[in-house]
Structure 1
Amino acid sequence: MELRQLEYFVAVAEERHFTRAAARMHVAQSGLSASIRSLERELGARLFVRNTRSVHLTDEGHALLTEARHTLANVTAAKDAVAAVQGLLRGTLTVGTLQCLGAVNLPAILARFHASHPGVELRLRQGGSTDLIERVRAGDLDLAFISTPFDEGAASGVTLTPLAAEPMMLACGPTHPLRDRDTVDLRELREETFVDFYPGWVTRDVVDQAMAAAHVERRVAFEVNDVHWLLDLVGYGLGVAVVPEVFSHKKTAARFIPLAAAPTWHIAIATATGRHPNAAAKALLSRDDVRPTS
């Protein structure tokens, strides 16, 4: 098995098309196809289901994809380590992130990193924590800034480095009866209609657990996947929400009130366990502005 075969395999798996994969790798399609067939013969398994329009991974192909990405990442890390000794920093750094990170100003961090290391190609992917963790585990991302899963089993195969924590707050409309309170107890929210993220999003999981501990059965009428939608719905009085404190810095009509015994929102950096980070990832992780807050 050759590294070039793995590179071709990953390209076809990601493009789901032999012609596009060949163009991406700057090779003739016939040569790429021959390399994939050779790899399948060597492994004794079909890696793709082919049709006239696209290709799809078989179960064996899915199993190989994660390991192939890890292998190629380790080779890249080895090359980058040699380049780093020579005073060079190059390659690609793919970072995942939530929409809002509170204590972490990721755009500013990436801008400073780019100024220091212009030879590194930066890529950014945004999503929910569960999706980002899976993409780190699969090798799609070098690292991700996520909120810590309530279910620790969801982070198997991923190392989480705590970065920051902040209390969650009640968000309500500008005419809501609780808008001028100094604090609110979760038990006072029994009759409220809620706006929240989809089940499986870590922020939602944290709130669900906190409400269950307070013996409050809540009704989530509005489920969203965007911070601004959530705040707009709350601002128009369609429901209340329990959100990280950082949301209060957004431009919104919503009002924010501290919670008694507030649940805590934790931010961490996710990296793949057992996979050597490349030199660019190491350089980013070593920066003072991404180190855990005291």
Structure 2
Amino acid sequence: MRHLEFFSAVAGELSFTRAADRLTIAQSAVSAGIRSLESELGVELFDRSRRQIRLTTTGEVLLPRVRDALDAVNEVRDAAQETTRAITGSIVIGLMTSVTLVNVPRLLGLFRAGHPGVGVRLRAARRGSAGLVDELVSGELDLAFLALSGPAPTALLAVPIASSPMVLVVPKGHRLAQAQAVELGDLVPEEFIDLPPGYASRRIVDDAFTAAGLERRVMIEVSDIGTAAEYVSNGLGVALLPEFTAQDALGVHRLPVANLPNFTVYLAASRKRRASAAVRAFVELALAADEAQGSPAAHPSSLRPRERPGSRY
């Protein structure tokens, strides 16, 4: 089973080094485990002939079955733990860089205090929320804090837990700096700073301009939403950003924009994967913390954990 865990991790990372970091063990142990698994199965799971390893055709066929097997083992563990009420295991959670609407460190601290036997690994989004969605569906992540533009994909169960209005961020002295409110049509002449495609805030803005029949020019793309306002303050363009990202920025003005949806953070999980006891416990804590803060969003019961060990979200 440990070798199957190695295979799942390497398949997710397509790197022995990153998989070893994710598993917090030596790379040599991961490599040896994969070789042992390949020898036992009599097949090659990875093509190592190129600079970056790839799954072989056999590896691609086996990967979803291996992840199903690992989920089944977790179900056995959960059933055994029902007699002791102790929860063990591990969770892999994806999150967005510099998105502070959810106090993830506080949640993890509370979770660790209540469930010291559960290991939690965090993975930062490498391709924005679109990448987190893919990793949830593939089974690389158990949960993710992500943002969405429009309805959640059918493959996911997602509940909104925090939101921030989108605002226009302009440098001081800009022609719109003293405006009370702005329409999207007012922004067509501007040069924009934004995140790359795949990031939720970019999708929100792109969808709004498309719906309005307007085009815009994105001149600078940054991968960290927390730095976008700094480019604005240095006169390199304007940006449409969640308000929380620009609250501490110097040398800028923040303006409300009509017909632009809020930036909303969701806690999401795959609809197909069975949730372990550890995952259900984390979801229960996260939703309880959200309710304690008076979130106006109603939580769908489908995401709230159930008591019986075989339940799904």
| TM-score category, normalised to shorter length | 0.7 to 0.9
The alignment covers a number of residue pairs equal to: 284
Given that 2:148 and 2:266 are in contact with CA atoms closer than 8 Å, whether structure 1 keeps it comes out as: yes
Given that 1:145 and 1:269 are in contact with CA atoms closer than 8 Å, whether structure 2 keeps it comes out as: yes
Which amino acid is the alignment partner of residue 129 of structure 1?
S
Greater shift after overlay, 278-287 or 171-180? 171-180
Greater shift after overlay, 139-148 or 159-168? 159-168
Unaligned runs of 5+ in 1: none
Given that 1:93 and 1:120 are in contact with CA atoms closer than 8 Å, whether structure 2 keeps it comes out as: yes
1:11/1:230 Cα in 2 relative to 1: closer, same or farther (>3 Å)?
closer
Q: How far, CA to CA, are the matches of 1:168 and 1:52 in structure 2?
A: 43
How far did 1:101 drift? Answer: 4.1
What is the aligned partner in structure 1 of residue 61 from structure 2?
A: 63
Which amino acid is the alignment partner of residue 10 of structure 1?
S
What is the aligned partner in structure 2 of residue 139 from structure 1?
A: 139
Greater shift after overlay, 275-284 or 258-267? 258-267
Instruction: Provide the identity percentage.
Output: 33
Given that 2:168 and 2:254 are in contact with CA atoms closer than 8 Å, whether structure 1 keeps it comes out as: yes
Deviation string, structure 1 residues 43-97 (Cα, Å, up to 9, x no partner): xxx5333459885311331232233123203312430343254121222121111
Aligned match for 1:293, one of 295, 299, 302: 295
Given that 2:96 and 2:146 are in contact with CA atoms closer than 8 Å, whether structure 1 keeps it comes out as: yes
Which residues in structure 2 correspond to 1:215-226 (within 5 Å)?
215-226=213-224
Which amino acid is the alignment partner of residue 39 of structure 2?
R
1:273/1:233 Cα in 2 relative to 1: closer, same or farther (>3 Å)?
same
TM-score when scaled to structure 1? 0.83
Which residues in structure 2 correspond to 1:172-183 (within 5 Å)?
172-183=170-181
Given that 2:16 and 2:30 are in contact with CA atoms closer than 8 Å, whether structure 1 keeps it comes out as: no
What is the aligned partner in structure 2 of residue 112 from structure 1?
A: 110
How far did 1:224 drift? Answer: 1.0
Which amino acid is the alignment partner of residue 255 of structure 1?
H
Aligned match for 1:268, one of 261, 266, 269: 266
TM-score when scaled to structure 2? 0.78
Q: How far, CA to CA, are the matches of 1:61 and 1:38 in structure 2?
A: 14
Given that 1:11 and 1:25 are in contact with CA atoms closer than 8 Å, whether structure 2 keeps it comes out as: no
What is the aligned partner in structure 2 of residue 191 from structure 1?
A: 189
Q: How far, CA to CA, are the matches of 1:286 and 1:206 in structure 2?
A: 29
Greater shift after overlay, 242-251 or 232-241? 242-251
1:175/1:84 Cα in 2 relative to 1: closer, same or farther (>3 Å)?
farther
How far did 1:198 drift? Answer: 0.6
What value does the CA root-mean-square deviation take over the aligned residues?
Answer: 3.1
1:257/1:117 Cα in 2 relative to 1: closer, same or farther (>3 Å)?
same
SS at match of 2:178: coil
What is the aligned partner in structure 2 of residue 93 from structure 1?
A: 91
Which residues in structure 2 correspond to 1:64-83 (within 5 Å)?
64-83=62-81
Which amino acid is the alignment partner of residue 148 of structure 2?
T
